[in-house]
Structure 1
């Protein structure tokens, strides 16, 4: 649109503060001059403002600390999840997720509307989905063009949510034209279509739609209407015509249409169907046998009986309703009689009070009240629940422990130290390593100094005693006030309000008791006068006027004072008082929990820094070295040479013409001793690797660079699995011919344990792939060691292109071997399959697909504990699943989707799991499991109901169970 056609007074000058997408942005009016004033007020008030407690109000404005510059800005809370808040900065338009500690209450002078308004280009919608690259490119394009710059905007309309639809210009540049040119937005024309919704127009439109709309956009205009922003609601008489027609279609249809054209085909079909139905019904009715007639008669009688019962129930209901009305009327009459009796009783009490019958009665009533008050004062505890709460508040407020001042310096030192470690990890040059090590050592010294200061300061704090005291206070307060629950949400309350209320209440009780004591003292003095006047043995100056003076007033004052104190002691708290007490209790509990969290954090930080100091102090004299590792490696080479030489000697003795059996046995014993010593040294080598890896993680990342021959990185990348010192000729291994169908398997001993060596032919590429997959499996296995077969070691042959995986030897422990020799019972099958499901759950949680689950590769330890075996680490899952061994009996363990070309997944593992379970229960099952017809065949098997339900969800369900879901089924519970 040409800017010259717009009147200058209709244009506004704004500065863009935030860009949402390619057509939406937030901006402030340039004429608003209060932004700096608001920032100054926020900087002054927010650091000391109270933190937001409880649930926030969506109508209030809060202060929030922005994560990037740590400055305070105004915001509104859009959504809360636990202690995380999704907020909108109302003066700028950007959003962020902050914690409760970064939100504060703002005073009334800052509770004003935001300076930023949301704008959207009029007549546009985004031309791509939100997760597409074009969407982010459009946003970046608009961001670079207008963010932080001044624009002239021309308002066109206002959306329902307050978004302002505008045309925007930067100098002589039309921003909308640029968005269209680069295809970041499309035009949405609000034409005169019947189903279009009107918006709230801000001005009259002259001329046609801007000429920048491409013809191809006009062609697709109908599909773009759905992308228009939601505007203000329309009146009912402005509804689209198509909606009106839909609502009045039935009412407008005439009963008859004489001389009308042919009816729609559907109506003709319906009428024909009705006629045919009536003809069939008439034919059936004529052919109904007599016995059917009698059956219909019996049904009619039953219906009549039911009608009579319904009628009777209605009559009973009416009678009950009339009786309820009568009872309601009688209740109202009883209330009126009770009110009259109450008024009569009050008049009688007042009359007796003003006109006592006899002095004896008054004295008797007064004595009863005195006795009641004496017992009440004696039985009442020294402190009430409110007194205990007040005492607890005093302890909470006056003996609070805050974070030590040295903590901030410690955090800075830790950040500097961590940064030096990060620099060392990224270093690739030995020259740089020496420099960075010196910098690290300086940072470590500064950190140790800060740690010492922190530990000394914490040692002076009674943290444990304070935690115990807070725990006791919390327990006692919870026991006293946990039953005090209010129906409505109470407001935030400070301790000052409770203390003020408690002070007023204590003063009131004190004044009431003082008045009672003074009234009873006056009564005692009058009684003394009467006693002295009535004593005839002594002369007295008292006269009858002195004795009778003010008697009625004294008795009345005493009676009133006693009644006042008794009513005060027995009176219940009002709603407002209960709110004050409960709010104080809630705030006390919040303060206790907050301080407990702080003290626990201090104690945890103290323990961590103490441990760090102890670990670092042992390296004060010098950094750790790999000398012991190299010494162990040297010893291993020596023992290996000795073993090789002894094996040659035995071989020569065995091939000699005259066998020297004693010498051969002696040499074999020496070989066994040497082999055991060699394996012990290899175990020692592994411990050294573990120690060096721990040191590298904690504070010495330069070790792999300083000692490249140790290959620490190679050991870590294999998750501690790779043991380069091992070789095939170290073992006294025997081939396992009965199990070596696909690859050679060797049975041997290693460190006193029976193990199996699995041999794989590898090249450089296959070896790297094998190491990676074996390390992934090893890490997952270590998370849940009892559910999958452990990998003991991995090594490559030095004289042949073979890699060896060492696993425990489970003699005749596979499911196939067990089922062949002594099949499992139903109870044993449940226990074994539950262990296998746990193993699959562990692998799937680590994003690993087994793809080789078959009876030879799952084991039943002790016929009760099922574990999942390892798989071929040289093959990908899609290669493993195509193995011919993926069968159980005649049941194929390959999921139907894999046969259709899909890749293996956790669901395909669960299909194999279900196939193995079916094979264990029905070993001779010969059907297939790929269609509904076979599902019916499967249903005919004699299976337990819980087992049948589980197998159906594993083998036939379109949404197959996961391992965790299968474990929750009734079969395993």
Structure 2
């Protein structure tokens, strides 16, 4: 069928998950997004879920472990044979036979309808038997064509078993027509598998089957054939297209009759040219109706024969059922008779055991039991796992350390102190500072008292010893009970129940052993009496009655005691006892972990307060001052004045009519010394700022108000980047003309390091914006310092409207310069671009979009370490991305979505990253990246498979990777191997 006549809204998009035969397959709806969520829940729930017990329910959903990948999937049980289950994976459609150990119960939230549905091609049936080679070839043909791929299907009807009859298309290809072309399927209509029905005329005015007599007859016919699933009524908008398009009264025959009826069709076609064509058509219609009625009559006779056969089979089935019931009754009687014989045998055996036939046998049995009990007592360990657990519980419960009482008072004192600091931070005038400082000092004094109390109390606690003891106990318990799975929640009385059970068990064992010892002692006493009586060398007062008295009872008691102790010692724990031990172990581990956490918190609190006390004690005499900072600033002003004067002197000497070269060299040496001394003082100034900012954060927030000239807040707001003491005329800088196309760049030295000064023209508004963006970048760079270019300083010119950003100078280190002189190898590209991806990951994590990633702004240090360069802090991301330099060779690094008006984002950075990566491997690439159509092709470029996969994911907007996801790709993982 031509898919162009099908309305697009009637089509559904599915992805094929399993192929059954040449015309049947299972598929999932593409619009359903819950498959990943179900997989995650199965991974979490199934490993700990209970195994299926008893007979499964056909209405429930279970979890099964698939034999191929050992992962868990949802299924229903179709059939059971002993401990083997024939199952259907409801989210994919494939089947498998699994054992009971691979089936688990699923919670209620996973008891939902399967994601996969069963589809069959409409008006087709398989053209061969199941065991034939053509059947297997047809299944393989369809599997290779559609498995794992997306299809567009047009639903035609639904069978009563839920199978959906559809027309399927892959692009412009009609799948059903392909099956028909290769003879893997034949055309049929409902109820006609082997073309056994005659041609039926379809007319628009009379519905689908106009020539039939009654609906009841049609149903009977359809259900009797058994060649196709019985269909539900056709949808109102799914009438065959041949009915919708028919505009005349000429009858159209079904497709399955086209091959079988070529001659009638040729006659009809030739009759169209005849003058009496209308009459011939009427005769053909009448003839077809007559043939149909006769065929229907024949089919009714076949149905009656089938009904008789079914009735006969039912009678035979009833007789077989009665015979099976009789056999079952006989089997139950045989089982009962066998049980009676077994009980009789056990009684006979017990009688022979309790009443041996001879005295020798009784003594022999006693000797064997005594020997077994002796070995059992000798081999039994002095301390079992249960004993060790009981000992551990005693250590946990009886020697625990509680939170010091002074800890709560200390927390309250800290809360009051923090509030005074918060009030000071909000203070803006000197008038308020003095009173708030006094309040802060009072709160600090109270805090120090609470700190002393806490430290003294903690000093008396054996925290380290207790932590070591708990660590040893936890290690030994974990080693002994390694097979026990830890759980989050345990019963509250687990310790009490275990101790009661253990005490009862020990008492029972003690009583049993005592009874055995007494019985054996009585036997030994009797043996002693017998020995004395039997000795003829000595006289004895024992009589025959003394020796024979109670012999049977002594032997019986000894045997009974031995049997009871042997049974007690060799008995294993039942399920209830094992659960009790496991609960006690879990609670012991949890108690250890809780106490360890508390003790570590106490120790950390102790260390923090000790440090706080030491810091505060140094300010008891008076609060910190900014005198040192002001002294440094004064020395900076003096050195700067000296430098300026010396520069004037050199300038005058150089412009004199007679050059005094020795004097000029001497002055230049003095200038170099003065400049180095000036830079050292500026470094000292930065250290003082760091000290004051640290003091401000830790307890002296009033410093910016007391010393406004120090501009501490300005330094902090720039993240320590702004250095107001620096100025352009302090540097002996050379212009970098070859790189100064967009803005002036100056190369110079600063504190022994080669640096670059980037110059930006700013006004008051853009200066504030620049400071904000530079500070944001600087904070992000400090979190990931090895993969982004650092900002060394930022300052504004005092004699010009320029702002200067100081960065390290990477001579010929940009990717463009390296590729121009000595291109990187493939392995070097991997290492460099992995560093670039890490740099982008750090910037994106700080909510920064670079928007200026291009070969001039990416550096390769030592041809192995890639770092991301800074960007123009005076521009917005939208302005930066529109720069003409966003090119790598002939590849545009501007993402397609940006050309459509969307703002720059981390995804657009990753597009530029992918473009640079492609350029590094294929410098002369001149193709078109059609990412908006998701058709990026790199065939013929000779790219590595992992690189091809990564580029496809970077240059397609709908599935573009983030920086962190890109680093997990095989292309970059191989760098570490």
TM category (shorter chain) comes to 0.5 to 0.7
Question: What CA distance in whole angstroms lies between the structure 2 residues aligned with 1:655 and 1:487?
Answer: 87
Deviations 1:21-59 (A, max 9, x none): xxxxxxxxxxxxxxxxxxxxxxxxxxxxxxxxxxxxxxx
1:655 aligned partner: 655
- Tell me, yes or no, if the aligned pair for 2:733 and 2:748 is still in contact at 8 Å: yes
Deviation digits for residues 308-360 of structure 1, max 9, x if unmatched?
A: xxxxxxxxxxxxxxxxxxxx99x999999997896566345323334323222
- Whether the 8 Å CA contact 1:790–1:807 is kept in 2: the answer is yes
Pick which of 766-775 and 580-589 moved more.
Answer: 580-589
Match of 1:885 in 2: 885
Residue 708 of structure 2 corresponds to residue 708 of structure 1:
yes
Q: Secondary structure at the match of 2:958?
A: coil
User: Structure 2 matches for 1:53-68, cutoff 5 A?
Assistant: none
The residue aligned with 1:213 is none
- Looking at structure 2, the residues matched to 286 and 966 of structure 1 have their Cα atoms a distance apart, in angstroms, of 66
Shift of 1:766: 0.9
The one-character-per-residue Cα deviations of 1:125-151 (angstroms, maximum 9, x if unpaired) are: xxxxxxxxxxxxxxxxxxxxxxxxxxx
Distance 2:363 2:890 in 1: 106
Q: Retained in 1: the 8 A contact 2:929–2:936?
A: no
Shift of the 586–285 alpha-carbon distance from structure 1 to 2, 3 Å rule, reads farther
Task: Say whether 1:459 aligns with 2:459.
Answer: yes
- Say whether the 8 Å CA contact 1:746–1:757 is kept in structure 2: yes
Root-mean-square deviation over aligned CA pairs: 3.4
* Aligned match of 2:824: 824
Alignment partner, residue 123 of structure 1: none
State the match for 1:743 in structure 2: 743
Matched, 1:269 2:251: no
Q: For the Cα contact (< 8 Å) 2:650–2:667, is it kept in 1?
A: yes
Does the residue aligned with 1:747 lie in a helix, a strand or coil? strand
- Native 8 Å contact 2:487 2:586 kept in 1: no
Q: SS in structure 2 opposite 1:924?
A: coil
1:908 aligns with 2:921: no
Aligned residue runs from structure 1 range 165-184, under 5 A: none
Instruction: Tell me which moved more, 456-465 or 640-649.
Output: 640-649
How far apart are the structure 1 equivalents of 2:389 and 2:551?
44
C-alpha deviation, 1:264, in angstroms: 8.4
Taking structure 1 as reference, are residues 585 and 264 closer, same or farther at Cα in structure 2, changes over 3 Å only?
closer
Tell me: CA distance 1:372–1:341, structure 2 relative to 1, closer, same or farther (3 Å): farther
Quote the residue 1:726 is aligned against.
Answer: 726
Change (3 A) 1:751 1:379: same
Q: Which residue does the alignment assign to 1:541?
A: 541
- Unaligned 5+ runs, structure 2: 1-43, 45-189, 191-205, 215-234, 247-251, 266-327
Task: Return the alpha-carbon distance in structure 2 between the equivalents of residues 965 and 771 of structure 1.
Answer: 32
* Shift in alpha-carbon separation, 1:501–1:636, aligned structure 2, 3 A: same
* CA contact 2:907–2:962 (8 Å) conserved in 1: yes
Q: Closer, same or farther in 2 for the Cα pair 1:651/1:387, shift >3 Å?
A: same
State the 1:784 CA deviation. 0.2
The Cα of 1:719 is off from its aligned counterpart by 0.4
1:891-940 C-alpha deviation (Å, 9 max, x unpaired) = 11111222222211111111111111111111112233246789466444
Structure 2 CA distance for partners of 1:256 and 1:522, relative to 1, 3 Å: same
> Which of 497-506 and 931-940 deviates more?
931-940
* Cα distance, 1:384–1:632 mapped onto 2, change above 3 Å: same
Provide the residue aligned with 1:579 in structure 2: 579
- Partner residue of 1:307? none
- For each residue in 1:646-690, what CA deviation from the matched residue of structure 2 results, as whole angstroms up to 9, or x when unmatched? 111222222222222222222111111111111111001000000
Q: Would you say the 8 A contact 1:490–1:579 is kept in 2?
A: no
- Rounded to whole Å, the distance in 1 between the matches of 2:487 and 2:575 is 11
Q: Once the two structures are superposed, what CA deviation does each residue of 1:253-293 show, in whole Å capped at 9, x if it has no partner? A: 99549999xx9896463346974856875799999xxxxxx
Instruction: Give the secondary-structure state (helix, strand or coil) at the position aligned to 2:866.
Output: strand
Pick closer, same or farther for the CA change 1:604–1:933 going to 2, 3 Å. Answer: closer
Residue 944 (structure 1) aligns with: 944
Instruction: Check whether the contact 1:850–1:909 (CA below 8 A) recurs between aligned residues.
Output: yes
The equivalent of 1:473 in structure 2 is 473
Change in 2 beyond 3 A, CA 1:831/1:371: same
Q: Deviations over 1:479-505 (max 9, x none)?
A: 223324699997543422222222221
Q: 1:484 to 1:632 in 2, by over 3 A?
A: closer
Residue of structure 2 in register with 1:416 after alignment:
416
User: Which residue in 2 is equivalent to 1:553?
Assistant: 553
Q: Is the 8 A contact 1:430 1:705 kept in 2?
A: yes
Contact 2:936 2:952 in 1 (8 A): no
- Aligned partner of 2:358 in structure 1 is 358
User: Are the structure 2 counterparts of residues 663 and 416 from structure 1 closer, same or farther at C-alpha, using a change threshold of 3 Å?
Assistant: same
Match of 1:36 in 2: none
Q: Which residue of 2 aligns with 1:854?
A: 854
Q: Distance in 2 between matches of 1:388 and 1:284?
A: 92
1:844 paired with 2:844, answer: yes
Deviations 1:854-892 (A, max 9, x none): 111111111111111111111111111111111111111
Q: Which aligned pairs between 1:790-805 and structure 2 lie closer than 5 A?
A: 790-805=790-805
Deviation of 1:387 after TM superposition, in Å, equals: 2.0
- Counterpart in 2 of 1:898? 898
Contact map agreement 2:896 2:932 (CA 8 A) in 1: no
- C-alpha distance in 2, partners of 1:336/1:264? 64
Question: Which residue of structure 2 lines up, in the alignment, with residue 292 of structure 1?
Answer: none
For residues 789 and 354 of structure 2, the distance between their equivalents in structure 1, rounded to whole angstroms, comes to 97
- Give 3-state SS (helix, strand or coil) of 2:807's partner: strand
- Displacement of 1:756: 0.3
Q: 1:395 to 1:487 in 2, by over 3 A?
A: closer
Residue deviations 1:220-254, cap 9 Å, x none?
A: xxxxxxxxxxxxxxxxxxxxxxxxxxxxxx9x999
- What's the counterpart of residue 202 of structure 1? none
Match of 1:89 in 2: none
Which residue does the alignment assign to 2:506? 506
2:402 is the counterpart of 1:430? no
1:379-428 deviations in whole A, cap 9, x for unaligned? 22333222222222222111111100000100000000000000000111
Which aligned pairs between 1:930-969 and structure 2 lie closer than 5 A?
930=930, 935=935, 938-969=938-969
Counterpart residue number, 1:610: 610
Query: CA 1:485–1:537 in structure 2 vs 1: closer, same or farther (change >3 Å)?
Result: farther
Change (3 A) 1:800 1:349: same
Structure 1 residue matching 2:959: 3-state secondary structure: coil
TM-score, normalising length: structure 1: 0.66
Q: What is the distance in 2 between the residues matched to 1:688 and 1:862?
A: 35
CA distance in 1, matches of 2:502, 2:566: 19
TM-score w.r.t. the length of structure 2 is 0.66
Give the aligned partner of residue 756 of structure 1: 756
CA–CA distance in structure 2, aligned partners of residues 264 and 499 of structure 1: 74
Secondary structure of the 1:958 match is: helix
Shift, 1:577, TM fit = 2.1
Query: Per the alignment, in what secondary structure is the counterpart of residue 541 of structure 1?
Result: coil
Number of residue pairs aligned between Structure 1 and Structure 2:
685
1:787 aligns with 2:787: yes
Tell me how far apart the structure 2 counterparts of residues 622 and 485 of structure 1 sit (CA, whole Å): 59
Cα 1:914–1:344, aligned 2, differ >3 Å: closer, same or farther? same
Would you say the 8 A contact 1:512–1:565 is kept in 2? Answer: yes
Distance in 1 (alpha carbons) for counterparts of 2:944 and 2:682: 52
Give runs of aligned pairs for residues 146-545 of structure 1, distance below 5 A.
256=210, 267=239, 269-271=241-243, 275=253, 281=259, 343=343, 346-484=346-484, 491-545=491-545
1:490–1:913 Cα change, 3 Å:
closer
| The 10-residue stretch of structure 1 (454-463 or 654-663) with the greater mean CA deviation from structure 2 | 654-663
**Cα distance in 1 for residues equivalent to 2:839 and 2:694:** 28
SS in 2 for 1:533: helix
Q: Distance in 1 between matches of 2:917 and 2:763?
A: 38
What SS class does the counterpart of residue 789 from structure 2 fall into? coil
**Secondary structure of 2:928's partner?**
coil
- C-alpha separation in 2, matches of 1:659 and 1:334: 133
Distance 1:523 1:956 in 2: 93
CA distance in 2, matches of 1:560, 1:647: 115
* Kept in 2: contact 1:493–1:583 (CA 8 A): no
Distance 1:575 1:490 in 2: 17
